[in-house]
Chains A and B, each alone.
Chain A
Amino acid sequence: MIELKNITKIYNSKKQYCFQALNGISFAVNDGDFCAIIGKSGSGKSTLLHIIGMLDTFSSGEYFFDKTDVSKLNERTVSKIRARSIGFVKQDFALIDEYSVLDNVMIPLYPIRSAEKKKKALSAIEKLGILKLANKYVSQLSGGEKQRVAIARAIVNEPSIILADEPTGSLDSKTAADIMSVFKRLNDEGKTVIIVTHDMGVANQCERIIEISDGEIVSQ
Chain B
Amino acid sequence: MNTIKITLLAFKKNTFTFILVIAQLAVLFLAENYMVSALVEREMQFSPFKPVFNENTAFVYDSEYVKNAAMLGIDSKASREMLLCEIKDEYKIYDVMSFTNGEYTVYSVSDDIYASLALPLAFGNYGSAVGSFGTPAGEKEIFFPDGTDLKLETSGALTASTYIPTMMSLSSQDMTAGDFYYTSVNERNIILTNRSSIGGYEQHFRLSSGFLIEFKSDTARNFEALKGVALTVPTTEIAENTNKALKKDLLKFIPLVGTVLIIVIIGIICISIIIFKESERRNAVLWICGYSRAGIIGVQTVGIALMTALSVIISLATYGLLKISGNEMVIGINLTFENFIVTFITCMLLSAISSVVPALKCRKVSPAEYIRRAL
Contact = CB atoms under 8 A, between A and B. Distances in A.
Given A55-B371, A79-B295, A103-B9, A96 B366 contact: no
Interface string B352-372: 000000000000001111010
A50 B368 CA distance: 6
A97 B10 CA distance: 10
Interface in B213-244: none
Interface stretch (A31-39, A106-114, A192-200, A202-210): A106-114
B287 A55 contact: yes
B292 A92 contact: no
A215 to B, nearest CB: 15
Interface in A84-115: 84, 86, 88, 90, 92, 94-99, 103, 107-108, 110, 114
B324 interface: no
Give the size range of A's interface with the partner.
20 to 34
A45 interface: no
Contacts of A97: 13
A44 to B, nearest CB: 12
Contacts of B291: 79, 83, 110
Interface string B254-285: 00000000000000000000000000011011
B287 to A, nearest CB: 7
Interface residues of B, number: 28
B50 interface: no
B370 to A, nearest CB: 9
A96 B288 contact: no
Contacts of B375: 90, 92, 94
Interface in B287-318: 287-295
B1 interface: yes
A157 B5 CA distance: 19
Contact of A96 (B281, B293, B369): B281
A80 B291 CA distance: 8
Most chain B CB within a 10 A radius of its CB, from A80, A83, A94, A153 = A94
Interface string B1-43: 1100110011011000000000000000000000000000000
A182 B310 CA distance: 44
A76 interface: yes
A108 B6 CA distance: 12
Contacts of B290: 79-80, 82-84, 86, 108, 157
Interface in A156-197: 157
Most chain A CB within 10 A, of B2, B284, B285, B375, is at B285
21 contacts: A47-B368, A50-B368, A55-B287, A55-B288, A55-B366, A55-B368, A56-B367, A56-B368, A56-B369, A79-B290, A79-B291, A79-B292, A79-B293, A86-B290, A90-B288, A90-B375, A96-B285, A98-B12, A103-B5, A107-B286, A110-B295
Given A56-B369, A92-B375, 4 more contacts: A56-B367, A76-B294, A79-B292, A79-B295
Interface of A: 47, 50, 55-57, 75-76, 78-80, 82-84, 86, 88, 90, 92, 94-99, 103, 107-108, 110, 114, 153, 157
